Amino acid sequence: MAYHAVPIVALPLIQNALRQPETWNSDWEKITQTVDRVQSPSDLVASAAFQLRAYPSTMDEFFLEYPTMLGRLCHVQAWLTVDALQYFVSEDLEAKWMSASPELRGKHVLIGISNACSIAKNLHDTRTYCGRELRLARLQNDGRALLDLLDTVMVEGTSHLRKEGTMSDLTDAVAEGILKVPGKPRYVPHPTWDAFANARERLTATDTEKLALGNILVLRTKLICHIIHFTIRSFLGLELPEITVTKHRKRKMPAEALSIQAFGAAFMEQTLGPAGAKAVAKDNKEAFKERQSKRKEHCSYAGCSIVNDDSVKYPRCKKCWENMRREVLYCSVECQKADWKLNHKTICGRALTFDAVSKPVLAPRPTVKPPAVGAYVPSKVLLLQIAALSKHPKIDYFIMGELNDSVDLDFPDPEAQGLFRKCRDKAMTTGDRLSVAIMAHFLCWMTMDAHCIAKGATSSVIVRQLKKEYGFDELHRAVAEMQERQNRDPFKRPVLLTSMSPQNWMKFCRGMNVTRQVVLE
């Protein structure tokens, strides 16, 4: 194969990002400078395409993942936009950032870069393609640099809100659909790459090259979005965003990939000596294991925010599995249907092409799951609850009011309902304490309106009932703790909804007093 040598450089190790951020960062900056000087985009794409081609049996997986990657990037951008706009409006982010000292900005930029790069190995290595944007000195000395970068990736048509918006303008923008998950991502512009990508469109590139370039552009933009997000949250003293990486069920390592690994090992031995190479290999293996252990299975529908905590086995698309041995997993029939409409019908069970997988993706659609009973032995009162719920699948929970009048709760918002049912089903099938506490707090918090209270479904009644159902004597204290956790959340989301994207949460809590407190006598 006429594959020409791209200068091989050993990239900094992902596990060093958090261990020694300064050294790790300056190693990166040296490399990206060389890369910018020595490698042309076509070299890099050729190199990336070579890597893809080396995995012939998983080429199909790369194609299959591409629309999901596009979809997830759209979500990351919408999430960043809503967060950032809120900070501009309510925290005066722009003025604070611009007037901060370069040292202070630099400190948080480094936290942002090192944490975002630690999310996943492919994101980390994508820093190779962000040499221009991710220079620490520039981001810390020029306050505008980060804000300008943010402007390039925010959802289109929202920048006016940054300057003169109020919180209620933001809520309106969500309700009016101005601020929503976009159908396609906005890429961070890059003169050389963009010219190259356009040329590629016109020229005859192979599907593998198109995919390699597509991957680079998506990952590059995603990394930069995460870095901005982490940096501004850190700067404002807020918790860093939580990002879960998809766990794949099984991945075979083809012989070609193993040979690349062997080549890498030989290279390490040459540069570090046998003992050094061995130590690095061991460290890499442990770091890999640790990252792997944090991964969670995701539903294949990009609009689904539910993460599988291994409590259930997601069923897979039958045709994809039978025809192509493809793992396309869905958390529910609803997600499968939604994904089918969006893009799956054009790719289901078929060999893939770049055109078929690069269609725009659309807004999210939440999910509902039926209750299930497992190995845990529920109390008698809980069995009554379960029986009542299975008779009335539309109801999410029955509360026995003080007047012996049952209050049937159903949550109209599909995402909240999905999260509630997931938590509820875990509580019911395993008796898991945390799930019971989260659910109890959510039920109390949601029923603080006149209608429920009139029927006797007060917080105390609810907690007393769940205490009996789950045999959980300390539930009072646990619920109070959940309220404290809610108070600490920057958006005042109840713990049950902390995985809900801020834009959906803003839609959800419209007209609600989010600072109301569950108080138990």
Contact residues toward Zn ion (CB under 5 A) are: 299, 301, 304, 317, 319-320, 328, 331, 335, 348, 367
Shortest distance in whole angstroms from residue 325 CB to Zn ion: 12
Contact between residue 473 and residue 438 where contact means Cβ atoms under 8 Å apart: no
Which 3-state string (H, E, C) describes 338-349?
HHHHHHHHHHCC
Compare residues 348 and 383 and give the one whose CB is closer to Zn ion. Answer: 348
CB atoms within 10 A of CB 362: 19
Shortest distance in whole angstroms from residue 69 CB to Zn ion: 16
Distance (Å, whole) CA 364 – CA 366: 6
Shortest distance in whole angstroms from residue 175 CB to Zn ion: 24
Distance (Å, whole) CA 295 – CA 394: 32
Compare residues 93 and 320 and give the one whose CB is closer to Zn ion. Answer: 320
Q: Are strands 397-400 and 406-409 parallel, antiparallel or unpaired?
A: antiparallel
Compare residues 345 and 451 and give the one whose CB is closer to Zn ion. Answer: 345
Note the Cα 395 to chain centre separation in Å. 29
Bridge partners of 316, per DSSP, are 329
Shortest distance in whole angstroms from residue 246 CB to Zn ion: 12
Residues contacting residue 156 through CB under 8 Å, at least 6 positions apart: 182, 186
Shortest distance in whole angstroms from residue 334 CB to Zn ion: 7
How far the first Cα of the chain sits from its last, in Å, is 76
Most distant CA atoms of the chain, gap in Å: 82
Please identify which residue in the block is written with the tokens 């680079």: 216
Compare residues 158 and 367 and give the one whose CB is closer to Zn ion. Answer: 367
Radius of gyration of the chain (CA): 25
Distance (Å, whole) CA 67 – CA 216: 14
Compare residues 14 and 331 and give the one whose CB is closer to Zn ion. Answer: 331
Shortest distance in whole angstroms from residue 113 CB to Zn ion: 31
Q: Is the dihedral of CA 86, 91, 97, 98 positive or negative?
A: positive
Contact between residue 502 and residue 79 where contact means Cβ atoms under 8 Å apart: yes
Compare residues 322 and 474 and give the one whose CB is closer to Zn ion. Answer: 322
Q: Is the dihedral of CA 215, 365, 233, 19 positive or negative?
A: negative
Shortest distance in whole angstroms from residue 311 CB to Zn ion: 14
Q: Is the dihedral of CA 342, 346, 351, 353 positive or negative?
A: negative
Distance (Å, whole) CA 86 – CA 92: 9
DSSP code per residue over 110-122? HHHHHHHHTS-HH
Shortest distance in whole angstroms from residue 317 CB to Zn ion: 3
Compare residues 332 and 486 and give the one whose CB is closer to Zn ion. Answer: 332
Distance (Å, whole) CA 33 – CA 20: 20
Compare residues 124 and 369 and give the one whose CB is closer to Zn ion. Answer: 369
Shortest distance in whole angstroms from residue 302 CB to Zn ion: 9
**100 φ/ψ sector (left φ>0, alpha ψ -120 to 50, else beta):** beta
Compare residues 187 and 508 and give the one whose CB is closer to Zn ion. Answer: 508
Shortest distance in whole angstroms from residue 283 CB to Zn ion: 36
Shortest distance in whole angstroms from residue 242 CB to Zn ion: 18
Reference 386, options 438, 354, 425, 357; nearest CA is 425
Angle (CA) 245 246 247, round 5° = 115
Distance (Å, whole) CA 212 – CA 377: 51
Burial of 496 (0-12, 13-18, 19+ CB in 10 A): buried
Shortest distance in whole angstroms from residue 359 CB to Zn ion: 15
